[in-house]
Structure 1
């Protein structure tokens, strides 16, 4: 049998810190946290309250999780971040990157000073979180242009359509592609075609607002989503973008083969059952622009 002293030694050796927290957010006891790569000595927390250490909004979140664990009596697993802006007494201009934790919170079957308590084990998962973000970015990003890809477009348009359905906030869509790319590829090589596609991506990055998003669907086909933008403003923006494309891409033209862009524009409508209806209408407008002689903007 392990005696009390041995058990205390085991608890202190835990790599991650384990806190006994009361319903009111008081630190009753602190164990572990022996992995000095991630944690400082937490013994000084005993007797303090969560609200003594972090700002009200974050403290309320901690208390909410404690109460959830006490009410459900189930193990809760929650990911959360702590930054310098959350901690009292630290300057807001501290470390730019927050520290991410996984908290495992379990109600305990005893009281301390007549208060219910929980066990809260906090694990530093910043490295894992950063890796997950990076993997998500890679899965959502086109390798050639670093614009978002079709997968990300579909997820974003679902959200835009939901926002439109609930709040009537319009999202406009531009769909466009390069005119005469195949002729340039055949005459000058695919590496020049890639340079043209990169030029289009760079123009999108320089012209778009922070709230706008550009996507490469594949090949030379692109989509731009303009949230909170009606048809008239979207057509005006498309015309400016078209002029920027024409100016930049003229350097790739060869003889009678001009490198230009055709653009289809549309806006979400009440009759659209899903974002797919909007996207199909933008594609139809692009097809019409091609049929009218290319190098133009057509709205639908």
Structure 2
């Protein structure tokens, strides 16, 4: 046996044996590297806060979804892979038609990079997604159409945009529209009324003797008066009406689709709401009144500034006539 082993291990066979060993070691190294790459890929997929997905358009089957799906949607990936309706059921109802239509657009355009829609997570939270998708252009003829995409949670970004929009359009003290936003919206309603041939009314409101209120009770109490006026406006006006603070103690309103008679009824309701307000300061109770000027769209009006000017003049006429009244123009 010893002699046989010596013959099997003769020097002439060592190169072949060494090559075999080197080949095995190389193969093991490749396997190890592949395993490391696979582990790295899995780690990356787990850490990325976006959902990677692949979808068979013809069979309506989700072929792949990354681990972030369960974190963002709060739903089972296995259920999604077995039933595409799991995705449909998670979309915010108002956005479902758009989400499906934009997904179909990728067949014609090849890529859709600006899809944004809302989902309802399993915990009931509404989240915004930015969902980019692309069609597989490298598929051979006759092969299934595969759409791949990446869906990113942009809820924080949307909330920040909403807050910035609110700050840019809202009067900080009264939480009603600020002057710039009010007149931008008023111009839009004016153009719409001209195009559609519908009525439009414009109201100006000024708090009577507001300087006396500030001088007697202090500016903090004056701020409270302004806030309560804004609350009365929100309570008295109709849904779709515009209301904003356009100056120190001046407010304005636009009534789309409102005839002069209807607008007067709304203005009178607002007047009554304000007359019922009561304020207390250092044991003293006081109320406030306002003067209003009201006008409506007429032939020859070229822009909303014409209505603003007439309503403003009518408001000052109400002041001259004794205050606490509405003067139509």
Provide the TM-score with structure 1 as the length reference.
0.79
Aligned to 1:49: 84
Look up the SS of the partner of 2:149 in the other structure. Answer: strand
Match of 2:138 among 110, 114, 128: 110
Match of 2:68 among 25, 29, 33: 33
Stretches of structure 2 lacking an aligned partner (at least 5 in a row): 1-29
Greater share of helix: 2
Give CA deviations for 1:132-180 in whole Å, capped at 9, x if unaligned.
Answer: 2222222222122222211321232133223312323333221111122
Match of 2:260 among 222, 231, 237: 231
CA contact (8 A) 2:193 2:256 kept: no
Match of 1:182 among 211, 218, 222: 211
**CA 158–74 in structure 1, closer or farther in 2 if over 3 Å, else same:** farther
> By how many angstroms is 1:249 displaced?
6.2
Aligned to 1:82: 119
> By how many angstroms is 1:66 displaced?
2.4
**Distance (Å, rounded) in 2 between the aligned partners of 1:98 and 1:269:** 45
Aligned to 1:120: 149
Aligned to 1:202: 231
Match of 1:151 among 165, 169, 180: 180
CA contact (8 A) 1:170 1:227 kept: yes
CA contact (8 A) 1:30 1:43 kept: no
Look up the SS of the partner of 1:295 in the other structure. Answer: coil
Structure number with larger C-alpha Rg: 2
**Distance (Å, rounded) in 2 between the aligned partners of 1:103 and 1:270:** 49
Stretches of structure 1 lacking an aligned partner (at least 5 in a row): 85-89
CA contact (8 A) 1:250 1:260 kept: no
Over the aligned positions, Cα root-mean-square deviation in angstroms equals: 3.4
> By how many angstroms is 1:271 displaced?
3.1
Give CA deviations for 1:209-252 in whole Å, capped at 9, x if unaligned.
Answer: 33333211121000122232211111122123223323436989
**CA 295–194 in structure 1, closer or farther in 2 if over 3 Å, else same:** same
CA contact (8 A) 1:79 1:102 kept: yes
**CA 121–271 in structure 1, closer or farther in 2 if over 3 Å, else same:** farther
**Distance (Å, rounded) in 1 between the aligned partners of 2:228 and 2:217:** 16
Look up the SS of the partner of 2:211 in the other structure. Answer: helix
**Distance (Å, rounded) in 2 between the aligned partners of 1:261 and 1:131:** 37
